[in-house]
C-alpha cells in the first residue's frame, strides 16, 4: 500500500504515525505532507527518515490512500482532486461528514456500509465517535429515544496552539492564545464557533452526526465544554430508552461490545478518567446507573483519548477495513 498523510506534523498526524507502527501496517511507501513552514523538515518513522513535502508534490507520487488531517479548507479543496485520481481519501475534518454522498464511518458500527467506489470517506467528530461506540449496542437492544450529553473536552481537540496555551499558563508564560480566555484552572462552555441557534458547531456535530450514523429519529441535545485536560474527552450522557432495562444487563452488554472497556466499580473507586485513557484506543464506560427521575432512563460516563479513537485510530481502522475488503492493494 502507498499511503500519504496530509497534515503529518499536527497532533493527529503524529498519532497516525504511532498507530501505523503499533499496528504493524505494511506499507510500500509513505508520503508525508505538511504546510509550507515545515517543508523540507524530516520525520523519523520506523527507523527511516521521511522528508516533508507539499501537497502538490504529493500528487505526483503513486498513492493508494491519503489520510487528511489538515483541516476543513484543505480537505474541501484537495480531497476531490485526490479522489479523481482514484486515490481513496479518509478525511478527519468536518468537510464531508454531512454530505449525503459521503459515508460517515465508525468501523464497529457501520463499517459494512463501505463500498469500493467510496473514494472520500469521512471520519466523524471525536466526541461523536466515543459517544456512539458506547451507545450503539444499547440502541440496538433497547432503542434510544432521547440523548442528553455534556462533554468535557481536552485542549488537544483544538490543536497544538491550545496545548501550548495550557502549558504556558501553567508555567506563567505569556504566549499565543487559542481561546478567548485562560484555560488553566478554568472551564470554558464554548467549543468551536457559535451558530445562530445558540449552539456551537461542536454541539451540532454531536446531534447531526448521531442522526446520520445511528438513527435520525433520536432526540438529542448537547452542551460542549473545554477543560484543562490533555488525556482525552469525557462525556456525561443521559439516555431514555424504548424498553425497560436491568443495569447489570447493560453492564454485561457493554463489557462484551467491541471497542469498549467497562470501568464501573464505585465501591473500589473505579471509573473512567482521561488521565488513564491517554494513549489507549478503547472507549471507557462507567458510572452506569438508573435515572430515577424519568422512566426507562439511565446515566453513563464515557471517556476516550480524542486523538486516538476520536481521530487517528478510527482513521487507521477505516484504512484496515478497506484493505481487508480488497478495495486497495
Annotated catalytic residues are 126, 233
Determine the distance from the C-alpha atom of residue 189 to the mean position of all C-alpha atoms in its chain, rounded to a whole number: 20
Separation of first and last alpha carbons in the chain: 6
Continuous segment of H or E residues that includes residue 121: strand 120-122
Residues β-bridged to residue 259: none
* Residue 277, burial from CB neighbour count under 10 angstroms (0-12, 13-18, 19+): buried
- What CA–CA distance (Å, rounded) separates 215 from 327? 27
Rg of the chain in Å (alpha carbons):
20
Provide the 3-class DSSP secondary structure of residue 103: strand
Beta-sheet pairing, 88-91 with 120-122: parallel
Cα→Cα distances 121→228, 301, 308, Å: 31, 29, 18
Residues 6+ apart with CB under 8 A from 60: none
Is the CA virtual torsion 177, 178, 182, 184 positive or negative? Answer: negative
Provide the 3-class DSSP secondary structure of residue 64: coil
Q: Which three cell numbers stand for residue 322?
A: 478497506
Half-sphere exposure of 231 (CA within 13 A, CB side): 14
Cα→Cα distances 145→158, 206, 216, 236, 239, Å: 31, 15, 10, 17, 8
Q: Which residue has the cell 453492564?
A: 251
In this structure, the chain runs to a length of: 329
Amino acid at each position: 500500500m502507498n499511503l500519504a498523510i496530509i497534515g503529518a506534523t499536527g497532533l493527529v498526524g503524529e498519532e497516525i504515525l504511532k498507530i501505523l507502527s503499533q499496528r504493524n501496517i505494511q506499507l510500500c511507501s509513505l508520503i508525508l505532507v505538511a504546510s509550507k513552514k515545515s517543508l523540507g523538515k524530516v520525520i523519523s518513522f520506523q527507523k527511516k527518515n521521511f522528508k516533508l513535502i507539499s501537497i502538490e508534490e504529493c500528487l505526483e507520487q503513486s498513492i493508494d490512500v491519503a489520510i487528511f488531517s489538515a483541516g476543513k479548507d484543505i480537505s474541501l479543496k484537495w480531497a476531490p482532486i485526490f479522489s479523481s485520481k482514484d486515490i481513496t481519501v479518509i478525511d478527519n475534518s468536518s468537510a464531508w461528514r454531512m454530505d449525503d454522498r459521503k459515508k460517515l464511518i465508525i468501523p464497529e458500527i457501520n463499517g459494512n456500509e463501505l463500498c469500493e467506489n467510496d473514494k472520500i470517506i469521512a471520519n466523524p467528530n471525536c466526541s461523536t465517535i466515543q459517544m456512539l461506540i458506547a451507545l450503539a449496542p444499547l440502541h440496538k437492544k433497547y432503542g434510544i429515544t432521547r440523548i442528553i450529553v455534556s462533554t468535557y473536552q481536552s485542549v488537544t481537540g483544538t490543536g497544538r496552539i491550545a496545548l501550548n496555551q495550557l502549558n504556558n499558563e501553567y508555567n506563567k508564560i505569556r504566549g499565543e492564545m487559542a481561546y478567548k480566555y485562560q484555560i488553566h484552572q478554568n472551564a470554558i462552555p464554548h467549543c468551536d464557533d457559535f451558530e445562530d441557534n445558540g449552539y456551537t458547531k461542536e454541539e451540532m456535530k454531536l446531534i447531526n452526526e448521531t442522526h446520520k450514523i445511528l438513527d435520525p429519529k433520536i432526540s438529542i441535545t448537547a452542551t460542549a465544554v473545554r477543560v484543562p485536560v490533555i488525556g482525552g474527552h469525557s462525556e456525561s450522557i443521559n439516555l431514555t430508552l424504548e424498553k425497560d432495562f436491568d443495569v447489570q444487563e447493560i453492564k454485561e452488554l457493554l463489557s462484551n461490545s467491541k471497542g469498549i472497556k467497562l470501568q464501573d466499580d464505585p465501591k473500589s473507586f473505579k471509573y473512567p478518567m482521561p488521565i488513564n485513557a491517554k494513549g489507549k484506543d478503547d472507549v471507557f464506560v462507567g458510572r452506569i446507573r438508573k435515572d430515577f427521575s424519568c422512566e426507562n432512563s439511565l446515566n453513563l460516563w464515557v471517556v476516550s483519548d480524542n486523538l486516538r479513537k476520536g481521530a487517528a485510530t478510527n482513521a487507521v481502522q477505516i484504512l484496515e477495513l478497506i484493505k481487508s475488503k480488497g478495495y486497495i492493494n
